[in-house]
Amino acid sequence: MLTVTTAPGIASVGIVGGSLGGLFQAVALAELGLDVTVWERSVGRPDDRGAGIVLQPSVAWFLRMFCGVDPDLISVPVTHRQFFSRDGQSHHTLMGQRMISWGAIHTSLRDRLDSARYHDGQRVTALAPRPDGVDVHVGDAVRSVDLAIIADGSASRHRGLVAPEGAPRYAGYVAYRGVIDEAGLPEELSEVFRNRFSFYDGDRTQFLCYFIPGDFGTITPGKRRMNWVWYVRADAAGLDRITTDRNGTAHGLSLPPGLIAPQVHTELLDHARTLLPKPMRQLVEYTREPFAQAILDGRVSRMRGGRTLLTGDAAFVVRPHTAASAEKAAADAITLFAALQQIPSLDGALRAWEKDRLAEGMALYKHGVGLGHRLGLGTSEATRTAAAGPAA
């Protein structure tokens, strides 16, 4: 664990959004001795949709150093990458990685933060910059802070204060996703995927899967979950169809679990039978509540305006093939922590932080677009701004 106690010229920080991006910042800045407040519009523990995340070095480091959590105890190891062909044959190569769940990271961060600092069910309606700080409007209340951090995600409503040009665009394909309790899978199917990060690269499509922790980060065999992602091209009309739920409600850029329209679900199963190797097709069939997210491209040319910063997906939205979104959010926080700790002037620290994060964000953005193109994904249809739809 780290013990530090200084930051130049600021005492209080307000953070808009209490998902991973906001929580990484909150936990790190609280370690600096700052008075940190997080406002999160959703109530209770956010719905993690069971999502799996490749555990990357900055997240692992953050959990260990700032949260006192051993990441090995809440992540599932894989020893190999496994590549399938359409007929179900596979070959593998040695490559060790660890897989974690969104929920296990969120819980570790949330547990580290004093509950008085985290206000859920509170939407930030406006940010009003002052020369020496920012007024944060939450309902009828106004709270003045020395530094504000916008961590309200890809569909950010506050990004425009810093980077008006930064609204993400639809990349022309969606990720269908599914999560299955390990206990609900036949042993012979689990065995195919155990200890493996498995891929199938088809014609302008990709399917991948791996085991992740179960509830409360448990990694006990039998209590884990299988997590799969299937990238499928969809034009703007196709996206609308996929994300319009069984009740006819349009969700815009994502479809939550449990709401898939029967016809869309039937088509998903049909496509799985036609396009996927048998073990992966079976995973789709075993999934009760598939969900979906539009893939977005988002980049900004600034991450700082005066005393207001952008972090996480509110800044750069990078393609998930990079497996770097959570990693980038953690690195945003670690870099700010280090800059505030090491650089004596606030302006100098924020300038150094912005320079570093813009360079990394842009590099990841380009890398992700390149990976998508290599898979034949995201070459067209990138026409819709993410701001047009509800939050993913």
* Residue 178 binding ligand FAD, by CB under 6 A: no
Closest C-alpha among 70, 101, 58 to residue 324? 58
User: Which of 313, 354, 360, 381 contacts ligand FAD by CB under 6 A?
Assistant: 313
Least distance (Å) between residue 277 CB and ligand FAD: 21
First to last CA, the chain: 34
- Nearer to ligand FAD by Cβ, of 31 and 40: the residue is 40
Amino acid (one-letter) located at 152: D
What is the spatial distance between Cα 336 and Cα 338, in angstroms, rounded to a whole number?
A: 5
For residue 187, the minimal CB distance to ligand FAD (Å) is 26
Binding footprint of ligand FAD, residue count (CB under 6 A): 33
- Cβ distance to ligand FAD smaller for residue 127 or 352: 127
Is residue 124 close enough to count as binding ligand FAD by CB under 6 A? yes
Could you tell me if 37 and 117 are in contact, meaning their C-beta atoms sit under 8 angstroms apart? yes
User: 232 vs 323, which CB is nearer to ligand FAD?
Assistant: 323
Q: Is 368 in the site for ligand FAD (CB under 6 A)?
A: no
**HSE-CB of 99 using CA atoms within 13 angstroms:** 28
Strands of the sheet with 12-16, listed across from one edge: 118-120, 35-40, 12-16, 147-150, 308-310, 304-305
Contact criterion met (CB below 8 Å) for 81 and 95: yes
State which residue, 9 or 57, has the beta carbon closest to ligand FAD: 57
- 1, 68 Cβ separation under 8 angstroms: yes
Interface with ligand FAD includes 325 (CB under 6 A)? yes
Cβ-count burial 168-193 (b if 16+ within 10 Å, e if not)? bbbbbbbbbbbbbbbeebeeebbebb
The kind and range of the H/E element at 14 are strand 12-16
How far from the centroid of its chain's Cα atoms is residue 98's Cα? 16
**Cα(78)–Cα(194) distance, rounded to whole angstroms?**
8
Closest distance between ligand FAD and the C-beta of residue 20, in Å?
A: 3
**Residue written as token pair 């949260």:** 67
Q: How far is the CB of 383 from ligand FAD (least distance, A)?
A: 22
Nearer to ligand FAD, 157 or 233 (CB): 157
Q: Which is nearer to ligand FAD, 49 or 299 (CB)?
A: 49
Residues 57-96, mask of contacts with ligand FAD (x by CB under 6 A)? ----------------------------------------
Comparing CB distances to ligand FAD, the nearer of 158 and 307 is 158
| Minimum distance of ligand FAD from residue 229's CB (angstroms) | 7
- Return the residue matching tokens 């916008």: 150
Gap between the Cα atoms of 210 and 226, Å rounded = 6
Distance of closest approach, residue 318 Cβ to ligand FAD, in angstroms: 8
Residue 296 as a binder of ligand FAD (CB under 6 A): the answer is: no
Shortest spacing between CB 41 and ligand FAD, in angstroms = 4
Give yes or no for residue 14 binding ligand FAD (CB under 6 A).
no
Q: What is the nearest approach in angstroms of ligand FAD to the Cβ of residue 114? A: 18
β-bridge pairing 35-40 and 12-16: parallel
User: Is there binding between residue 42 and ligand FAD (CB under 6 A)?
Assistant: yes
Q: Alpha-carbon torsion 99, 114, 306, 336, what sign?
A: negative
Query: Per CB under 6 A, does 22 bind ligand FAD?
Result: yes
Interface with ligand FAD, residue 37, by CB under 6 A: no
Please give the residue ranges that form the binding site for ligand FAD (CB under 6 A). Answer: 16-22, 39-42, 46, 49, 51-53, 102, 123-124, 151-154, 157, 312-314, 320, 323-326, 329
